[in-house]
Structure 1
Amino acid sequence: MSRKKQLPKWLALLLVLLLGLLLIITILKPSDQNSRSGVKLNSYVEKPVLPISPLPEVVPEVVVEPLELPLLQRVESGLALVIDDVGYDMPALRRILNLSIPVAIAVIPDAPYAEASATLAHEHGQMVMLHLPMEPSSEKYRKKMTPYFLHEKMDRQLLRETFLKGLAQVPYVEGVNNHMGSYLTEKSESMRWVMQLCREKELFFIDSKTSPKSVAADMAQALDVSWASRQIFLDHDLAPEAMQAAWQKAEACLAKGYRCVVIGHPHKETVAFLEAQFSSTGLDSLIPVAQLLRGGDAAVQAQLTAEERL
């Protein structure tokens, strides 16, 4: 048998040394992946850890209940101001509202700024009224009647529709008073229909008393509608001394312990008079017109019959 040839010892030792050297080089050399990416193992810098912001506190939703204003207590004596013919002059209305006195704003339904005026008055916490056009006695003014006027020739249904059309033009309405109406307010049947609708819509009525023969207050009382009547026109005459005399008459009415409803208009002279009157003295006894109403406080405003509701 032949003997296998063995490597010389020195050669074997050399091979072991070479293998060891290669192993050391392999360990010390960066990996190919790190070399390709250009990342140096000994140059890694740890990024600081940013603090985590706390979650915002959950605040439970607050449900705001609508504000319920107390009913105004009626009084046996007081002085209240109503401004008629509103809806044409917004700057004049703003000046009146800036007086910060209780004042009812009566808006004509077909005025160009009817809705805007009613909204502005409501935003200032003032009472809004529909200044409802009614047939006058004067032929001159009859020729100027618009489709919003109530007149004697209307049957019950047409009068109702016209009233409701006017009401739809003025938001936030709480009461009604007549614009003109020196003829219609004398007619019992027409005014009865008006009061039936006021009762249905829970509106009070203030008789502007453009006719001494007006039956508006009588019909309101008969149908248990809250009502009041005008005692004084502030600006029938626009002269400052005339308005001062009218106001003194209102103060005398109050001094006697009466209910005194004063009606004015947004004329520039009237606005200037009111600004002078209330910037200098003021009047603590000036109250909302709703406190001077009569009637309408029956046990239940009786349910309207089918006939009354049409």
Structure 2
Amino acid sequence: MRKKGLFLYLSRPILKKIIAFFGLLLVFLSIYLLLGKNKTTATTIFIDAGHGGIDSGAYYFDVKEKDLNLQIALALGQELQSRGYEVLYSRTEDSDMCSLEGLPYSERQDLQLRVDRMEESKADLLISIHCNATQKGSERGPMTFYHHASPASKELAYHLQRHMNYLAMNSTPAITKTYQPRSANFYLLRHSSIPAVLVELGFMSNPEDLQLLQDPLYQRDLVYGLAEGAEEYLAGLSFFNVDFFSDPVIRSTTAPKASQELVFTEAQDLRSTLHNWQKKSGLFPEKLILKELTIEDNHIQLNFNQALEDFLKEDPTAFREAMTALADRISEGPFDTFSLLCEGEALSEQADRQLEWDQNILVTKLQAKMAIVIDDLGNNAVGTKELLQINRPITLAIMPFMEYSTDESEKAHRAGFPIIVHLSLEANRASPNWYGPKTIKTSMADEDIITILEEAHSSVPHAIGFNNHMGSKATSDVRVARLLVETAKSLNWLVIDSRTSEDSQLIKEAQRQEVLYGSRDYFIDVAHSKDGTKKRILKAAERALKTGEVLVIGHVGPDGGKSTVQAIREVLPALEARNVEIVPVTDIVRKVGEKTEKASSIPQSL
């Protein structure tokens, strides 16, 4: 006889109760999950519209910075809200913060009230909106600032700057020189406990920038770019792990205490040195006297006469330039901070307003520059996808006439990477399958060489120059080198010599024809391993710290690929902790007539 199932032994009323119980349980569980999902806290972004009310900020041709700041800040808030973020503002009307609180106006108080509102908001990040101005009317383009002690702020700044640079390069008229994020000691940034950046949207002192800043379409694109950058940062779309930054970029170390006599002697010597430099620099008024200098550990206190305050009142711009130069001069010694006194007293609020500095002024050590060029893009090579996720301005050398040349150029340009053409040139010895398409050979006629370069220009849009793929024979040929540089000049390209031959004529031709040029110092992935590449990068960094700059070349694909990208990713924190910044290749191209040293590693004779 077949056994009955369990439910057949249960009475119908009991069975109904069990079904009802599980039904109710399912309903309550669904409601709980739905409410739990709705309770998820949205990311909060605090937007600060700079200046306001009595403080108009920059003022050009009846256009006030405070109005532009507010207009764009409110539009940015609306865009972020449409993406699901909670947005809070420092101000939503034309008023300074002191007036909103019923207090008499003070710039320091105004800034502190912005900090207070931001901290009270419990926001996740801060974006402060400003417009720039300078006495040089030719300066153009957006800039982003972060505080050196906040690695997260630096990452956010790179995301925002990349999008703004893309917009700048595609504006009309185009902004050809773009910036990278800069460290600054602005009050709002140094007192923020959350990732914070100050964005200068453009230069009101430049007529073209001023016109763009008032253009509704350009404003719309600015807002979209800033929102995209903030969203990328919040989504963690960067290979750069913030946890790597356990130490500040600029370190403050305390030396063993020396005897009072030794410190006094050192102070006297330094005072004499600074006094002589002050006279020779031409930046300071003759009546300004450094009366006293005191050293305490890694801090210097400078006591000037009353002429310091007079200097500030008479020419605030010159005062700021002089103090910045003084900070640079002091940075050459083992000091981290210095403070200014005037006749033994702290400077007035006006001085602090001009400098945006606390009483202890940070001495920012001079940065060394490293330009990283990655070759062999254009064919969806291994490592390309990962490379495009690194949040630094690495220069990408794209091989023309490949299946993905144009597509990768467009993607890289949209992501804000500098692009050059990786031009295949004839080598002294090479397997035919090592070359790229349409290799330039010494046997070619002039017009054929010129045609290939012009076609390469179309194949790799947005390129700003070229470097050579192999090419030991072609670059050593005077005629070919001349044609390459002549055509590059007509295309407004710079020239990067990969140094595959000691006999290369590219630099000589670039100098003769007055074309901007650069020269490779190291190949970083010759060992074809992550650890080997990291060692080469760190070796290159040592050179940068000695000479101020270095240009290195790596590869995607079989010659480097993911191991090269991973090495760059892992070594970035160590580089930036030593104040070696990754810069676009345009930042270290040499001026015409400057001498270049030979590459520090043995050329690959290809």
Asked if TM exceeds 0.5, the reply is yes
Q: Is the 8 A contact 1:83 1:103 kept in 2?
A: yes
Aligned to 1:290: 586
Aligned to 1:228: 518
**Aligned counterparts, 1:179-198, within 5 A:** 179-198=469-488
Deviations 1:183-203 (A, max 9, x none): 111111110011000111110
Pairwise CA distance, 1:265: 0.8
**Aligned counterparts, 1:162-173, within 5 A:** 162-173=452-463
Structure 2 vs 1, CA of residues 175 and 142 (structure 1 numbering), >3 Å: closer, same or farther?
A: same
Aligned to 2:497: 207
**Aligned counterparts, 1:102-181, within 5 A:** 102-138=393-429, 140-142=430-432, 145=435, 147-181=437-471
Deviations 1:245-272 (A, max 9, x none): 2112111111112431011112121122
Aligned to 1:85: 376
CA distance in 2 between counterparts of 1:180 and 1:238 reads 17
CA distance in 1 between counterparts of 2:367 and 2:484 reads 26
CA distance in 2 between counterparts of 1:187 and 1:292 reads 26
Pairwise CA distance, 1:76: 10
Aligned to 2:391: 100
Could you list the runs of 4 or more consecutive aligned residues of structure 1 that deviate by over 3 angstroms after TM superposition?
67-70, 142-147
**In the alignment, which of 564, 575, 580 is matched to residue 270 of structure 1?**
564
Q: Is the 8 A contact 1:148 1:163 kept in 2?
A: no
Q: Is the 8 A contact 1:81 1:104 kept in 2?
A: yes
Structure 2 vs 1, CA of residues 263 and 143 (structure 1 numbering), >3 Å: closer, same or farther?
A: closer
Deviations 1:68-90 (A, max 9, x none): 536258x9962111110001226
Pairwise CA distance, 1:296: 5.2
Structure 2 vs 1, CA of residues 292 and 160 (structure 1 numbering), >3 Å: closer, same or farther?
A: same
Structure 2 vs 1, CA of residues 90 and 223 (structure 1 numbering), >3 Å: closer, same or farther?
A: same
Structure 2 vs 1, CA of residues 79 and 147 (structure 1 numbering), >3 Å: closer, same or farther?
A: closer
CA distance in 2 between counterparts of 1:291 and 1:114 reads 25
Structure 2 vs 1, CA of residues 90 and 106 (structure 1 numbering), >3 Å: closer, same or farther?
A: same
Structure 2 vs 1, CA of residues 77 and 218 (structure 1 numbering), >3 Å: closer, same or farther?
A: farther
**Given the two structures, how large is their TM-score scaled by the length of structure 1?**
0.69
Q: Which residue identity lines up with residue 80 of structure 1 in the other structure? A: A
Pairwise CA distance, 1:147: 4.9
Whether 1:71 and 2:177 are equivalent positions in the alignment is yes
Q: Which residue identity lines up with residue 85 of structure 1 in the other structure? A: D
Q: Which residue identity lines up with residue 566 of structure 2 in the other structure? A: A
Deviations 1:80-117 (A, max 9, x none): 11110001226722321211111111100122211111
Q: Is the 8 A contact 1:220 1:227 kept in 2?
A: yes
Deviations 1:159-211 (A, max 9, x none): 11122122221111111101111111111111001100011111001000011
Aligned to 2:533: 243
CA distance in 2 between counterparts of 1:81 and 1:163 reads 23
**Given the two structures, how large is their TM-score scaled by the length of structure 2?**
0.36
Deviations 1:250-309 (A, max 9, x none): 11111112431011112121122122223x546251111101011359xxxxxxxxxxxx
CA distance in 2 between counterparts of 1:69 and 1:223 reads 25
Pairwise CA distance, 1:144: 5.0
Whether 1:255 and 2:545 are equivalent positions in the alignment is yes
Structure 1 unaligned residues grouped into runs of 5+: 1-63, 298-310
CA distance in 2 between counterparts of 1:151 and 1:159 reads 8
Pairwise CA distance, 1:227: 0.2
CA distance in 2 between counterparts of 1:78 and 1:119 reads 26
Identity %: 24
CA distance in 2 between counterparts of 1:144 and 1:212 reads 21
RMSD, aligned α-carbons = 2.6
Higher relative contact order, structure no. (Cα contacts within 8 Å, ≥ 6 residues apart): 1
CA distance in 1 between counterparts of 2:428 and 2:498 reads 14
Structure 2 unaligned residues grouped into runs of 5+: 1-166, 180-365, 594-606
Q: Is the 8 A contact 2:396 2:420 kept in 1?
A: yes
CA distance in 2 between counterparts of 1:228 and 1:82 reads 11
CA distance in 2 between counterparts of 1:169 and 1:143 reads 21
CA distance in 1 between counterparts of 2:477 and 2:548 reads 27
Q: Give 3-state SS (helix, strand or coil) of 1:294's partner.
A: coil
CA distance in 2 between counterparts of 1:91 and 1:244 reads 19
Q: Which residue identity lines up with residue 131 of structure 1 in the other structure? A: H
Q: Which has the larger radius of gyration?
A: 1
CA distance in 2 between counterparts of 1:146 and 1:90 reads 13
Q: Give 3-state SS (helix, strand or coil) of 1:150's partner.
A: coil
Q: Is the 8 A contact 1:72 1:291 kept in 2?
A: no
CA distance in 2 between counterparts of 1:81 and 1:97 reads 13
Q: Is the 8 A contact 1:78 1:257 kept in 2?
A: no
